[in-house]
Amino acid sequence: MTTTTKPAPPSGGGMNALNNLLVGVGKSVGGIVGTLYQAGRDTIDTVIRNILPFMAFIAVLIGIINESGLGDKLAHLVEPLAGNLIGLLAISVFCAIPILSPVLGPGAVIAQVVGVILGTRIAEGDIPPQYALPALFAIDPQVGCDFIPVGLALGEAEAETVEVGVPAVLISRLVTGPLSVVLAYFASFGLYSSSSS
């Protein structure tokens, strides 16, 4: 959408004014429609390239986990961890360990899979729903830990900054990971509490 500055129209004629009006309206409407259309195109592109493939992946995983009986075994494994604050803190500390966090990070695949597994357990009633909010933070202290050098490079950081920045972020996560779980725990008071016993 480019707006070109037009020379002042030569004097005379309502015809010219009308023309200008029509051109102006046409351009702005065309701009709005064009933008919406382009936005729609981007959206469909995103859905096909990013969202649907992940849904297929999740569907296969959930189908196998739920139908094979693996889900119940996982539930026994996850229940004591995800159903209380101490367990969630343990998960977050584990995910924030500086050596593990870059390994667990890529594409947030681990966080998404664990999120889906916890979600199915919440739906089954194994984990009380008010733990949903702290759980969201407990499974995610490693977010972006795999991407620090690239992310800093996108911010045009110098090599020295990257050298310092990678360990700085990883160490910071060890503190802020569990801290975020505690914050979320206190923020979840009154969230779905009526449904809990």
Q: How many C-beta atoms lie closer than 10 Å to residue 170's C-beta?
A: 19
Q: Which amino acid, residue 83? A: G
d(CA 12, CA 126): 79
**Angle, alpha carbons 141-142-143 (nearest 5°):** 95
123 binds other proteins (CB under 8 A): yes
With a CB cutoff of 8 Å and minimum separation 6, the contacts of 113 are: 58, 61
**DSSP character for 48?**
I
Smallest distance from other proteins to CB 54, Å? 6
Considering the complex, what minimum distance in angstroms separates the CB of residue 11 from other proteins?
Answer: 35
CB of 40 or CB of 80, closer to other proteins: 40
Site residues for other proteins, 161-190, by CB under 8 A, read: 161, 164-169, 171-173, 175-176, 179-180, 183-184, 187-188
91 binds other proteins (CB under 8 A): no
Distance in Å, CB of 197 to other proteins, minimum: 13
Distance CA 115, CA 95 (A): 13
Report if residue 148 touches other proteins, rule: CB under 8 A.
yes
Pick one of 91, 95, 118, 178: the residue that binds other proteins (CB under 8 A).
Answer: 118
